[in-house]
């Protein structure tokens, strides 16, 4: 049975962070050591990021908060709210992103009615509340109260793959199933000033965003679907458990992203790909460059560099991942779906063998490597996200912008 992605849409908060300006704020904090200050400049400048988006509006110089919780604009000090304060904001702001991305995905599939949705899978690792985002999406969008709901929490940057794999399984078990998958992450809630290298790296990389997809195997879907979900595999590398982690602290969630992670990926990425490519022996016998599209989670510039070097991929094959990193940063689980959307918006070169094949991968705590093999069926409706072009975007009643980058605003 062929399972299709009928639509794939994205959403980001309306507040944009300019990387160079954020760097200057973090580098000016009084508690930094001389080494810490150097690390801030090195990490921010070396991240290959120009802009990111955040749900924390007070980080902009144009938004004055009476009782600032994250950034005191008058003193220039970054504050350190408790985990409860951060999580309360997550419950409010993440709901907006979940609903906005889900609504956009459904609007992009006009042949799918709200009551057609049989399953809902939500994903996030940056906060908790209950009734959770799955409940909120059902209520806000008016889905059937009988929708089967599943929430994948606290898995990390690779979690879009288990969500899509679950959607595929639901559709294979029930040919009439229509699954809505929504990933939303507010990573910026957990940034803080610190001399710790992992914390500094997280402050330089992470951002907020959401993505949603409608997945189904219903007859006739192939006429309008964007791609097929062909195969998924999961691999745990033999080392790396202590090199990448995501823990809960008293002042937000704490990231562990050791500088050895790119080396672990470099050593084990080939073995991690083998189970996936073995699903299609003819494809496995070809060089990696024979797969035209690579949707790689941009966990950081050095990770992309290692993947490209080890697999011998061309610069063109890394363009989608690098563009998303540059324009949006690392949005954890939602990021690889942004990369997939970028690829879908590129023209399909008819007559070129294998032009539609996409190999995708993401990395997370463990060290976990999730991989997927897809087939692009047609070009998605283009918008300015492709190729990093900046343009206007419609803002909905939730204050969330879809697909396109909003107009630039002065930020901290």
The catalytic site residues sit at 157
Which residue, among 141, 117, 87, 157, has the nearest Cα to 6 in the 3D structure? 117
Token pair belonging to 33? 């050591």
Residues in the chain, how many?
412
- Helix segments in 186-227, DSSP class H: 197-205
Torsion of CA 280, 282, 283, 284, to 10 degrees: 80
**Count of other CB atoms within 10 angstroms of residue 235:** 20
Quick check: helix, strand or coil at residue 261?
helix
CA distance 51 to 59: 14
Token pair belonging to 377? 């069926």
Please, what is the angle between helix 197-205 and helix 34-46, to 10°? 30
> φ and ψ at 290, to 5 degrees?
-70, -20
**Count of other CB atoms within 10 angstroms of residue 224:** 16
Torsion of CA 80, 52, 97, 343, to 10 degrees: -150
Q: Which residues contact 162 (CB under 8 A, 6 or more apart)?
A: 152, 155, 370
């Amino acid at each position: 049975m062929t399972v299709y992605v009928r639509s794939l849409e994205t959403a980001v908060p309306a507040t944009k962070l300019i990387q160079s300006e954020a760097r200057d704020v973090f580098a000016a904090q009084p508690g930094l050591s001389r080494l810490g200050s150097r690390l801030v400049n090195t990490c921010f400048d070396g991240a290959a990021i120009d802009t990111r988006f955040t749900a924390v509006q007070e980080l902009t110089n144009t938004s004055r908060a009476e009782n600032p919780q994250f950034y005191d604009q008058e003193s220039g000090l970054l504050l350190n709210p408790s985990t409860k304060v951060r999580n309360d904001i997550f419950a409010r702001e993440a709901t907006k992103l979940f609903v906005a991305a889900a609504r956009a995905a459904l609007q992009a599939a006009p042949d799918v009615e709200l009551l057609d949705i049989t399953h809902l899978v939500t994903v996030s690792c940056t906060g908790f509340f209950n009734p959770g985002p799955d409940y909120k999406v059902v209520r806000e969008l008016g889905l059937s109260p009988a929708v089967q709901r599943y929430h994948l929490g606290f898995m990390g940057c690779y979690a879009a793959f288990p969500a899509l794999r679950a959607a595929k399984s639901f559709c294979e078990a029930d040919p009439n199933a229509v699954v809505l998958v929504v990933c939303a992450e507010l990573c910026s809630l957990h940034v803080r000033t610190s001399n710790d290298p992992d914390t500094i790296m997280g402050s330089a990389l992470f951002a907020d965003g959401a993505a949603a997809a409608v997945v189904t195997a219903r007859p006739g879907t192939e006429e309008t679907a964007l791609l097929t979900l062909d195969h998924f595999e999961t691999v745990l590398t033999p080392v790396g458990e202590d090199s990448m982690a995501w823990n809960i602290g008293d002042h937000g969630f704490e990231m562990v992203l050791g500088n050895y992670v790119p080396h672990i990926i470099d050593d084990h990425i080939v073995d991690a790909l083998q189970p996936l490519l073995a699903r299609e022996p003819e494809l496995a016998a070809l060089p990696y460059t024979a797969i035209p599209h690579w949707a790689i989670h941009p966990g950081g510039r050095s990770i992309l560099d290692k993947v490209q070097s080890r697999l011998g991929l061309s610069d063109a094959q890394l363009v989608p991942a690098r563009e998303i990193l540059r324009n949006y940063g690392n949005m954890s689980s939602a990021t690889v779906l942004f990369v997939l959307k970028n690829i879908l918006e590129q023209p399909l070169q008819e007559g070129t063998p294998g032009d539609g094949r996409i190999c995708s991968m993401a990395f997370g705590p463990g060290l976990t490597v999730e991989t997927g093999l897809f087939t692009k069926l047609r070009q998605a409706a283009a918008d300015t996200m492709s190729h990093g072009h900046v343009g206007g975007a419609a803002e909905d009643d939730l204050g969330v912008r879809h697909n396109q980058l909003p107009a630039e605003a002065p930020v901290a």
